Chain A
Amino acid sequence: MSVVVGQQFSNGFAAVSLIDLIVFVIASGMVLGGAVGVIASRRPVHAALSLVLTLFGVAVHFVAMEAHFLAAVQVIVYAGAIVVLFLFVIMLLGVDQAEDLRTERLPIQRPLAAVMGLGVVGLLIAAIVASRNTAPLSVGVGLDVAGQATADGAIVENDANIRQLARNLFSDNVFAFELTSVLLIVAVAATVMLTRRERKPVDDEAAT
């Protein structure tokens, strides 16, 4: 949503802004609740399902920020592929025994982790708040928003976000895009090598 569209919303009908607020609060609750569930649940399966909740909340935020293609990809790739891969590994290995969260081998580890986490969050929020009113760098040309009227009155297409993303991806970043195919091939080959079961010759003779 560009700045112009936001002004249109707040001037034209204020109810849209209220709906934005409600969506933000609910989706943030999903994201934070899922994130706490990932680090606080004792069983890995529960942690994986909490991760799904977080990923769906992030997808809702993407929709609210007019990044429709990324929202779809977030659901398909993250919730559909990566979490299912986690669940496959948990089920196949049978490592779903509950971890005892109360005992800690290093006694200072947990307070130290809390202090460091709070420090990181505090520094980030301080930097964000300090720079919230700085003038934006004039790098962008504006985002096309689905179904919105542009400045000259023409209605852009409903898939304007995908068109703009594709134009950027296949013109400016096409070399990096090609390199990702190499990365995926290397990852698949490495996984096949890593998880290959080495056959023992004794077992072969016993089998035959």
Chain B
Amino acid sequence: MIAAIEPTSTWYLILAAVVFGIGAVGVMVRRNPLVMFMCIELMLNAVNLSFVALSRRLGDIGGQTAVFFVLIVAAAEVVVGLGIIVSILRRRPGATADDLSELRG
């Protein structure tokens, strides 16, 4: 009976693993630095999803606290990373990750 099937934390963990894999492939394949950054966000979200799923399975609120800190660090990381990308692309418009082998302008 289909009503007996209930999404357990294993389902959420498998979904998080698939999203993490998609993000990892995106970082390795794409060359636009902005899109690579978005793929890093994908991986962070997959980890957040698994944190909350394990928080529910173990009955511990600490997993959700960890997600809170991941959100803050992701925001700070995006701010600094986009600042670096803006200053690089302002000097070299249209640069891809293949052209950027060093941070010096």
Contacts and interface: CB of A to CB of B under 8 A. Distances in A.
Contacts of B87: 194-195
Contacts of B79: 85, 187-188, 191
Candidate in A77, A90, A168, A191 with the most chain B CB atoms within 10 angstroms: A191
Interface of B: 1-8, 10-15, 17-26, 28-32, 34-35, 37-39, 41-42, 45, 48-49, 52-53, 55-62, 64-65, 67-69, 71-80, 82-87, 89-90, 93-94, 96, 98
Contacts of B39: 38-39
Contacts of A94: 93
A137 interface: yes
B81 to A, nearest CB: 9
Given A32-B18, A128-B13, A191 B83 contact: yes
Question: From DSSP, what is the main secondary structure of chain B's interface residues?
Answer: helix
Nearest to B5: A21
Interface in A75-133: 77-78, 81-82, 85-86, 89-90, 92-95, 97, 99, 105, 109-110, 112-114, 116-118, 120-121, 124-125, 128-129, 132
A149 interface: no
B89 A113 contact: no
A161 B13 CA distance: 21
A93 B86 contact: yes
A156 interface: no
Given A121-B21, A128-B10, A187-B76, A169 B37 contact: no
A35 interface: yes
A65 interface: yes
A2 B61 CA distance: 11
A35 B42 contact: yes
A125 B45 contact: no
B102 to A, nearest CB: 15
B59 A142 contact: yes
